[in-house]
Structure formats: C-alpha cells, structure tokens
Structure 1
Amino acid sequence: MTQHPRVGVLALVCRDNRLLLVERGRPPNQGLWGFPGGKLEFAESLTAAAARELHEETGITAEFFELLPPLEAVSDGFHYILIPVLGRNPEGQLAAGDDARDARWLSRVDLADLPIIAAVPPLFDQALKRLSSL
C-alpha cells in the first residue's frame, strides 16, 4: 500500500464504435473490466504513458492526442489520480498481456454483461462523443 496518491493514465481507444477494455488481472480492481492503463513513469509524458500501457496490456498501438478531465480513484489501499487519454488509429494484434487477464473491443451495450469499474460507462460515453465529433 502506498502512502500518497500516484498519477496514472487510462488509454481510451476506439474502433468501429467499440472501445478497448481489459479485465484486470491484479489489484486494484482485479476481475473487473476497465480501460488499459497504469502508473506514469518518471519523466514520461501522459501520451507516452498511455501508449506504453496500451501496448503492454493489449499488444495494440495507437496515436494519443487528447486528455480528458482527471479522475480520482481510491480502492483496495490504492489512491490514484487518473488521466484519461484519447487514442485513435489502433493497429496490431489484440492479445492480453502484462496485468490484463483478457482484452476485448466492446460496445456500450456489451458493458451490461460484464463486471466493470464504475467509471467506465461515463468515460465510454465521453470518449465516443468526443471521437465522433472529429
């Protein structure tokens, strides 16, 4: 358990009105579905962190171009300030890796059938709205 908040990123990447989500394989939120993401490393930009985490957890690469408003998450002894980063033009072969148990392209309707992190539906809607306006 950490004694101070950590900064992390969430990679929000869309393909055909579906966003890429992963099933968390470790705490926090183990067993729940959420966006690929993780801690920001020293001297790493937010977009570079999103690209790194996306690739580590899914095998996918994308162009990250815009930050959404930050979120605060306190769970399982962890305290994160999370910055959602929008990505586009995904490429690569999807395969769960690093601390992701599974990875899938999901529609908004698909979320109803999965155990998800509470912040996922509003972020999903925000990302789709923003990406469709481009």
Structure 2
Amino acid sequence: MDRRYPQRPMVGVGALIFRNDSVLLVQRGREPALGKWSLPGGLVEIGESLHDAVRREVWEEVGIRVRVVDLIAALDRVIMDDEGNIEYHYILLDFLCDADTAEQPSPASDAQQSRFVSIGDLSGYRLTRGTEKIIRKAFASLSEHRHSIYNPDL
C-alpha cells in the first residue's frame, strides 16, 4: 500500500528514549514532515507485534536496541493535500523505551540526523505536531508509579 493517498489508515509506532534529561530525536528524511524532528519509529509490518515493531524500527533508524516499557500516547494524523484529499493517514502509538546500551544514535537512510536533545532545548527544534507535548508527558511520567496501559500478552 502506498503511504500517499492510502485506502486505509496505516499504523505507526514511535519510541520515547530518555537519557537523563534528554530525549532521542530524529530529523525526518522523507515526507510527510521532511526536515522536521520527531521520535524514531515507523510503520508496523504485517504479522508484527507493536513491541517488535518498535524494537525493529529503532534499530533500523538509529542503531540502538531498546526494551519497550509502556504505551504513552495513541493519536491519529490525517494530512490533507491542497485539494482537500487525504494525502496521509496514520494511527500512531508512542512507547516509552529503555535503551539497552549507552551507544550514540547513528541515523539510517530515512533520517537526516539523530541526537539526544535536552528537554529544555525542545522549543529550539522544528518538531512534528504534538511531539513536544508527548515528550513532556512521557518525561513527567518517569517519576510516577503507574499500571501498564499496553500488555502484548493479552
């Protein structure tokens, strides 16, 4: 299925990976939102669990292995073209993740750059819509003791 002008929504996953007071961001290397900064992630493949998709996408996009902790946000993105047609339609699920190592991210071909960015410096980046709010929500939740939202074993 083509990403542009799809027949149905596509499911994507994103990873919130923190190191101290910084979060991992990637600068998008293709549309939609070419050049904007966002969370590492991508589309779920057929037959793939959400956790497997997050792990695979982070590994492919920035070369870091992660452990998925919990679902932080579920949102939809419908992007219209100039004629009012649906050009892109994504259902996005963002997960809090722990990095398995202290490796530095190395962007793959679909990301222009990747880096850990201080929470205090987020406003200086051209972020995709809603990304800063989700990052701040996830960062605040790190100190909370809460029940898991997503359980892949159910």
TM-score by length of 1: 0.92
Residue of structure 2 in register with 1:108 after alignment: 119
1:46 aligns with 2:50: yes
Distance 1:6 1:112, change over 3 A: same
Match of 2:41 among 37, 51, 62: 37
Residues 62 and 114 in structure 2, CA contact (< 8 A), matched pair in contact too: yes
Distance in 2, matches of 1:62 and 1:86, equals 10
**Number of positions where the alignment pairs a residue of Structure 1 with one of Structure 2:** 134
Which protein shows a greater Rg? 2
Match of 1:17 among 21, 32, 36: 21
State, as a whole percentage, how many aligned pairs show the same letter. 37
Deviation sequence 1:60-111 (CA, Å, 0-9, x none):
1111121123111123611000001110134233111131100010112221
Amino acid at match of 1:50: V
Residue of structure 1 in register with 2:134 after alignment: 123
Distance in 1, matches of 2:30 and 2:73, equals 25
Match of 1:86 among 76, 93, 96: 96
Segments of structure 2 that go 5 or more residues without pairing to the other structure are 82-86, 146-154
TM-score by length of 2: 0.81
List 4+ stretches of structure 1 deviating above 6 A.
Answer: none
Segments of structure 1 that go 5 or more residues without pairing to the other structure are none
Deviation sequence 1:33-84 (CA, Å, 0-9, x none):
0001111011111111111111111111111121123111123611000001
